[in-house]
Structure 1
Amino acid sequence: MSEHLVDRLLASGARRGDAIGLATSRDGRVAISRDQVSADLDPASVAKTIAAIDAELAPRWVMWDQRTAATLVAHGIRLVRSWDLAAADRFVHGGWATSPALIWARLHDLDPNTIPVERGPDLFNQIDPAVESASPIDPDGYLRASWSAGGWEDFDGGAVTWASLALRCARLQRAATDTLPDPPRTLSALRSESSIELLCSELAADGLPLDEARANELIAGYIGPRPTTQQDEFDARAQRDAAVFAAAPGVGQVDLRSPGQVRTLLRRVGIEVPDTRAWRLKELRDRHPIVEALLTWRKAERIESTFGYRWLDENVSGGRLRGVWSGCDGAAGRMTASAGLHNLPAELRDAVRAEPGYVFVRADLGQIEPRVLAVVSGDPKLAEATRDDDLYAPVATALGVPRDVAKVAVLGAMYGQTTGIGAEALRGLNAAYPVAMAYLERADRSAQAANDLRTFGGRLIRLSASSPSPNGTEDRAAVAARGRFGRNAMVQGAAAEFFKVWALTVRARVAPLDARIVLCLHDELLVHTPAEYADKVAAAVDAALQEAAARWAPSSDGRSTTGRSDAGRSTTGHSAVRFVAETSVVTSWADAK
C-alpha cells in the first residue's frame, strides 16, 4: 500500500517538499490528498505509509490545526514539517480567533460577519443530509457549518475531501504571501510557525520530567504537609498568617490578602508605600522585620494557591508535568503553555529532574532582544556591540555609564521606559545607536496612532481595533501605553520568530540521538537526552544556533558570521550580528546557571 501510494504521488508530478493535505478521523484513520491522488488509510497502515512518503518526498504536511498533529503523536507518529492553516491565519491576520470557516472566508474574500453557524433543524431550517454530504461549500461560497464543526467525519469520503480542502487553502495562503512586504521572509516564517505546532503537540504529549516526591517535599517546605481535610488547609493558612504578625507584635491583625489592609499594617510600623508590589517591598527589607516576613508569606501563598498539592494532582501524571502548548499567544507571537509550565517558581525547579539514565541539556539565549533589535533595525553600531559576549559592556563604554545603567537604558528603550535610573543614559542611546532608536520610535508613534504593525517575519500586530475616538478624547495614558506595546512587540515578536527557528532546528538535529525538547521558555530550551549522548546533544544545540541564525535572517551575501567563545557558549550571527547561548548539562533544572 505505502509503496504503491508513493509511486502514484511520483507519477502525478509530486516533488520533494511539495504540500500534501492531511486529515485525521476519530477512529484513527488518516486521509491524504494531493490533486488527483488521494487515499483513506486504515490505522494499521498509517505509520508505514507516512514514513514511506516522508522518506521519498519529504513533504510539507498540510493540516487545519494542531489537533491533527496531536492525534498522530498519540499514535506514535511525529511529522517532520507541516503547514498549519490556523497558525498561518493567526500570523497573517493577527489575534487569536480562527476556525476552518474563518480561514476559508478570508481566503475567498467572503464577509467573515456572515459565516454560517451550525443550527439544528427547526420549522424554518430543514437540513438535507444528502446536500450536506455532497458538497462542503454552500451556495454562497462559504464552508458549510456542519463541515467546519467536524461533520465531515460522518460523510462518506469526507476525510479525503477535508484533506483536499486543506491543501487548497494552503496554496491560497502561500499565494497570498506575495502581497505582503517581504514575501520570501514571510513564507519562511509561516513554515516555522506551522512546524512549531508539531513541536507543541509533542511537548503536550511528552510532558516535562518531574520528580513527584521531590515536588511534594519542596511544596511542604513552604506550606506544610499535604492536608487531608479542609480544616487542615485552614489551619496551615492561619499558621502562615501568624508568622507575619509575629514579626510585629502588638500592631494588630489584618487580612494579608487585601493590598489595602497590608498597606495599613505597614503604616502601623512606620512604612508608607503607594502599593505593595514585591519589587517595592524588596527595597524596604531593612526597614522592619515584617517586610521580610511578608515577602516569605507571599511566596508561600503563591505556591499554595497556584503550585500546591492540587496543582500536582491535576497536572502531573506518569512522572511528567503536562500542559497544553500553543505556538503563539495571539499578540506578538510568543509560545504559550498551561499548567504553570511558563511560570514555575524558581523554588520548585529542583523537582524538574531528568529521568534515570538521562540528563538535561539546557540552553539559554543571551541578551536575545537587543541582539534581535540590531538585526531588525539594521543598526551597524548596535551590531558592532553584539560582537561582545556581554552586549551591555560596549554599550556602557559608548554611553560612559556603568554596565547596570546601560542595561536598564537598553531595556527601557525597548519597553518604552523613559524615567528612572536609565533615563539619562536612554537619551544617550539616541546618539550612540540612532538607527535602532529610530526604529523603536517609529513603532511607538505608529502604535500610538493605532496603526497595525508587522514584525520582522510578517506577523500582524493588531492595533487598529483600539483606535482613538473620533473626537480625540482618548486618555493620553492609554495612547502612551499602546505606543510602548508597539515598540516592544516589534522586538519581542521578532525574537519569538527567531527562537522558534532555533527550537525547530534543535528538534531536527537531536532526534537521531533519541533526545527530545521538553520545555520552551521564551529564550530557553530544555532537552531531555540519554546521558551517553549529552556532549553530542550539547554540541548539536550550539550548532543549531548557528544554523538558525543563517536561516532566520540570512545576510545579503547569503553568509552568516560564526564563531565560538568560552566553553559552553556558542556564538553566531546575521552579517555582523552575533547571537550567544549559554549551554550546560544538568540533572536538575535548578542546577542550570
Structure 2
Amino acid sequence: MEITRLAVGVCGRRNLPTVDEGDDTGSLPDIAGLADLPVDHGAPLALAIATDTGAAIVTARGDALFVEPADIAAAIEHLDAAHSPRWVWWSKDTARHLLDLHVRVAKCWDLVASHRLINGGWQSDSDRIWAAAHRLDIASIPTDAPVDLFTHDLDEGDPDQPVRADGYLRPDWVQGGWASAPQRLEAWARLAMQVYDLHHSTIRSPADDTLGPTPDPARRERTVWSESAAEMLCAELERDGLPFDRATGESIIAGFVGPRPANVLEEREQLERRDAEVLQHLPPGIDFDLRSPDQVKSLLRRVGIEVPDTRAWRLERLVDAHPIVSPLLDWRRAERIRTTFGFAWVDEHVGADDRLRGHWSGSDGAAGRMTATAGLHNMPAELRPAIAAEPGHVFVRADLGQIEPRILAAVSGDAALARATHEDDMYLTVATRLRVERDIAKVAVLGAMYGQTTGKGAEALAGLEREYPVAMGYLRAADEAAQGGNDLTTFGGRRVRMSGSVSDQMTDSDVRSRAAARGRYGRNAMVQGAAAEFFKMWAVLVRARGAALGAHVVLCLHDELVVHAPEQHGDDVAEVLERCLQETAHRWAPAADPAVRFVADTSVIRRWSEAK
C-alpha cells in the first residue's frame, strides 16, 4: 500500500516527516506505513475524505497522514481495528464516503451532532459550526456572492487558507474547495480537530446558560457519542435500505387503485372509475371534485351532513348517516395510497435490489427523533406485509413500552413514579394509586407531559400533583422556563432553543397564547427529547453488539427498532436487543433508588405486519 505523508506546519504541533510523492513504502499487507502515526487507543482522529483526491488523517497532537485514494479503505480499517479511535468529522457525509468504500467504523464524533447539543437546532453546515465554536456572529457568516456595485469583498487573506482574515471560513472552501488538493484535505481535517477540541471542552465544562439542572458532563459526552453514532447509523440506513417484497407491495397497491396503468389515459380512466363509486350515491348530473376538501364538505352538505372539516376520524363517526360516507372513506384510503404510496413511489424509492430507501436525519428538532423520507416513517399499515426479510433472514423487532412516562420517572427523579415502572403496565399502577380507571390515568399522565389540562384526564391531574409531586414539578418548571423564552437543556445535555420575542402588533391575549404554547412545547421537549436520546443510544448499541451476528438495523421508527438478521441468529439477536436495552438504562439513566425499569416488546418475525 502506498502512503504519502504530508508535513504542513501548525504552530506548536509536531508533524510526521514528509514522504515525497512516488516514494514506495511497499505494498504491505499489514499496512506498516501507518505504524509511524502515533495513535493512542480510543483517541480522536480527524478525518477528511475526497473520493478522487484521497484522505487526510490528523491526530489530537497534530500529526498528519495523507492516504492515496486507492488505499483509504485499507488504512481506515487498519486504524479502526488496531486503535479503536473516535473518528472526528464534520458531518455524516464522511460516513457516506466510507460506505462508498465498503468501510464501517465503530465510533465517531460528528461535529453536527456536538454542535446541535451545545447550540440547539438540528442541522448545520461547517461554516455555522465553525462560527458558533469561535463565538462569531452567525448572521455575519460570509457567502460566496458575486461582487457588484452594492457589495464588496472585505477579505484580504490568502485564498489558499481556509480561514479568512475576519475569522470565518471561506465560502468556497465550505462549498467543496477543501476537497480539491491533498494540502486542503489536511487543513480541513485540522479544522475539524480544532472544533472538536472546542466542543469537547464546552461539553465537559459544568457551566451552562440554560435553565434546569446542570447536565452531568460525563453523561453529556456520552450523549454526543450516541448522537454521533446515530448520524453514522443514518448514513447506513440510507445505504442499506429496508427489505421490500416488490410483488407483495405492488399487489397491495393494485388492490386499492387497480393494476399498474400502462399509460396516462389508462390511469385517468382508473381515477374516473374510483370517483364514480362515490358519486353514484348522488342524484344524476351532480358532480364534485373529491380531491378538494371544500367540495367534499359541499357534497356532504348536499346529502344533509354538516361537518366543520373532512378529517377521517370525523367521517368514520358518520358512516351510518348516509350511504355515501363509507365509499368516500374507502376512496380516501385508496387515494392516499395512489398519491403517496403508489406505483410511482415504488419506482422512485425501491431499488433494483428490492430495498426501500429514503434520506435519514439524526434529529428532527426539539423532539430530537430520527426521521426519514420516502414514507419510511408514515407507511400505512396496509403496506407493512411488503416489508419482508430476505430469504434466510428474519426481522427482530422491538418496541419500547410506555417509554415516555418511564423517561419522566428517570429524568425527574420521582421515586414514587420510578416504583410504578417496575410493573409491565405502569399506567395500571398509577390508576390504582389515583383511584381512577386505567384509561383515565393514561390520559392524565400523557396530558401532563403534553400540557393538556382539559378533557378526559383533567380531573386526575390533581391526583398526579398529589401522588407524584416531583415529576409534576419537573414538568411545571420546564413549562414556566419555556414560557419566559428561556432555553432548556434535556437530560442528555442537548440545548432546546426557545423564542421569547414579542412584536408590537401582538395583543396581550396573543402574548399569553404564545407563551402558553411555548410552555407546552417546553415540557414536551424535555420528555420527548430525552426519550429520543435514550432510543438512539439503544439503537447504536444494537448496531455495535449485533454486528458479530450479521445483524443490521434497518428501521428506526420513533420507539421501534427493526433489525435484519440471519435466520439462525434470530433468537440470539433478540437477546442482544434486550441486553442493549439494559445497558442503555445503565449508561443513560441516573443511579437511583428505586431504579427505573425499561421494557420492550420483542419478537422474531418475517414480515413487519406480523408484529403485535
TM over 0.5: yes
Shift of the 535–443 alpha-carbon distance from structure 1 to 2, 3 Å rule, reads same
Shift of the 149–443 alpha-carbon distance from structure 1 to 2, 3 Å rule, reads same
Determine if the alignment matches structure 1 residue 483 to structure 2 residue 546: no
The equivalent of 2:266 in structure 1 is 232
How far apart in 1 are the matches of 2:365 and 2:585?
Answer: 24
The answer to whether the Cα contact below 8 Å between 1:247 and 1:293 also exists between their aligned partners in 2 is no
Bigger mean CA deviation after superposition, 426-435 or 162-171? 426-435
| Residue from 30, 35, 38 that aligns with 1:7 | 35
User: What do the CA deviations read for 1:453-479 (whole angstroms, capped 9, x no partner)?
Assistant: 111112222112655659763354433
The equivalent of 1:521 in structure 2 is 557
The equivalent of 2:14 in structure 1 is none
The equivalent of 2:586 in structure 1 is 550
User: What do the CA deviations read for 1:330-371 (whole angstroms, capped 9, x no partner)?
Assistant: 332111111111111101011000111111000110111111
How far apart in 2 are the matches of 1:520 and 1:261?
Answer: 38
How far apart in 2 are the matches of 1:255 and 1:113?
Answer: 47
Shift of the 291–114 alpha-carbon distance from structure 1 to 2, 3 Å rule, reads same
User: What do the CA deviations read for 1:29-60 (whole angstroms, capped 9, x no partner)?
Assistant: 22111134211112332222222212222111
Partner SS state of residue 464, structure 1: coil
Partner SS state of residue 37, structure 2: helix
Determine if the alignment matches structure 1 residue 222 to structure 2 residue 256: yes
TM-fit CA distance, 1:20: 0.6
Bigger mean CA deviation after superposition, 38-47 or 518-527? 38-47
Determine if the alignment matches structure 1 residue 114 to structure 2 residue 128: no
How far apart in 2 are the matches of 1:357 and 1:26?
Answer: 34
Bigger mean CA deviation after superposition, 57-66 or 456-465? 456-465
How far apart in 1 are the matches of 2:279 and 2:469?
Answer: 53
Determine if the alignment matches structure 1 residue 196 to structure 2 residue 215: no
The equivalent of 2:50 in structure 1 is 25
Bigger mean CA deviation after superposition, 431-440 or 384-393? 431-440
Letter in 1 for 2:35: D
Letter in 2 for 1:81: K
What pairs up with 1:551-590 in 2 under 5 angstroms? 551-555=587-591, 575-590=594-609
Shift of the 440–251 alpha-carbon distance from structure 1 to 2, 3 Å rule, reads farther
What pairs up with 1:110-149 in 2 under 5 angstroms? 110-119=136-145, 131-133=158-160, 135-149=161-175
How far apart in 2 are the matches of 1:537 and 1:268?
Answer: 57
TM-fit CA distance, 1:130: 9.9
Determine if the alignment matches structure 1 residue 175 to structure 2 residue 177: no
What pairs up with 1:325-340 in 2 under 5 angstroms? 325-340=360-375
TM-fit CA distance, 1:419: 2.2
TM-fit CA distance, 1:26: 3.3
Bigger mean CA deviation after superposition, 120-129 or 460-469? 120-129
| Residue from 94, 97, 100 that aligns with 1:71 | 97
Determine if the alignment matches structure 1 residue 319 to structure 2 residue 354: yes
TM-fit CA distance, 1:146: 1.9
TM-fit CA distance, 1:234: 2.2
User: What do the CA deviations read for 1:506-554 (whole angstroms, capped 9, x no partner)?
Assistant: 0011101111000000100110101011111111111110011111124
Letter in 1 for 2:56: A
Shift of the 280–426 alpha-carbon distance from structure 1 to 2, 3 Å rule, reads farther
The equivalent of 1:281 in structure 2 is 315
User: What do the CA deviations read for 1:212-255 (whole angstroms, capped 9, x no partner)?
Assistant: 11111000111111122222222222222222234566794432
Letter in 1 for 2:560: E
The equivalent of 1:308 in structure 2 is 342
User: What do the CA deviations read for 1:287-327 (whole angstroms, capped 9, x no partner)?
Assistant: 33433222222211111111111111111102000111111
Gaps of 5+ in 2: 4-29, 209-213
The equivalent of 2:10 in structure 1 is none
The answer to whether the Cα contact below 8 Å between 2:478 and 2:526 also exists between their aligned partners in 1 is yes
Determine if the alignment matches structure 1 residue 391 to structure 2 residue 418: no
TM-fit CA distance, 1:409: 1.7
Partner SS state of residue 507, structure 1: helix
Bigger mean CA deviation after superposition, 62-71 or 50-59? 50-59
The answer to whether the Cα contact below 8 Å between 1:554 and 1:575 also exists between their aligned partners in 2 is no
How far apart in 1 are the matches of 2:300 and 2:506?
Answer: 44
The answer to whether the Cα contact below 8 Å between 2:155 and 2:165 also exists between their aligned partners in 1 is no
Partner SS state of residue 224, structure 2: helix
What pairs up with 1:114-513 in 2 under 5 angstroms? 114-119=140-145, 131-133=158-160, 135-177=161-203, 178=205, 179-180=207-208, 181-182=214-215, 183-247=217-281, 252-317=286-351, 318-464=353-499, 466-467=501-502, 473=508, 474=510, 476-513=512-549
Partner SS state of residue 131, structure 1: coil
TM-fit CA distance, 1:126: 8.5
Partner SS state of residue 89, structure 1: helix
The equivalent of 1:564 in structure 2 is none
The answer to whether the Cα contact below 8 Å between 2:256 and 2:337 also exists between their aligned partners in 1 is yes
How far apart in 2 are the matches of 1:322 and 1:161?
Answer: 34
How far apart in 1 are the matches of 2:482 and 2:503?
Answer: 11
How far apart in 2 are the matches of 1:460 and 1:157?
Answer: 35
User: Matched residue pairs, number?
Assistant: 572
How far apart in 1 are the matches of 2:467 and 2:280?
Answer: 53
Bigger mean CA deviation after superposition, 312-321 or 262-271? 262-271
Question: How many percent of aligned residue pairs carry the same amino acid?
Answer: 53
Letter in 1 for 2:228: S
Partner SS state of residue 31, structure 1: strand
Letter in 2 for 1:19: P
Determine if the alignment matches structure 1 residue 38 to structure 2 residue 64: yes
The answer to whether the Cα contact below 8 Å between 2:109 and 2:225 also exists between their aligned partners in 1 is yes
How far apart in 2 are the matches of 1:365 and 1:423?
Answer: 26
How far apart in 2 are the matches of 1:576 and 1:127?
Answer: 58
How far apart in 1 are the matches of 2:469 and 2:285?
Answer: 55
Determine if the alignment matches structure 1 residue 539 to structure 2 residue 565: no
Structure-2-length-normalised TM-score: 0.88
Shift of the 440–288 alpha-carbon distance from structure 1 to 2, 3 Å rule, reads farther
Shift of the 244–422 alpha-carbon distance from structure 1 to 2, 3 Å rule, reads farther
TM-align CA RMSD? 2.4
Partner SS state of residue 397, structure 2: strand
How far apart in 1 are the matches of 2:49 and 2:419?
Answer: 50
Gaps of 5+ in 1: 557-573
How far apart in 2 are the matches of 1:383 and 1:310?
Answer: 48
Bigger mean CA deviation after superposition, 93-102 or 124-133? 124-133
Partner SS state of residue 56, structure 1: helix
Shift of the 40–245 alpha-carbon distance from structure 1 to 2, 3 Å rule, reads same
Letter in 2 for 1:256: L
Shift of the 354–195 alpha-carbon distance from structure 1 to 2, 3 Å rule, reads same
Bigger mean CA deviation after superposition, 464-473 or 341-350? 464-473
User: What do the CA deviations read for 1:48-90 (whole angstroms, capped 9, x no partner)?
Assistant: 2222212222111000001010010111001111111112112
Partner SS state of residue 457, structure 1: coil
Shift of the 400–353 alpha-carbon distance from structure 1 to 2, 3 Å rule, reads same
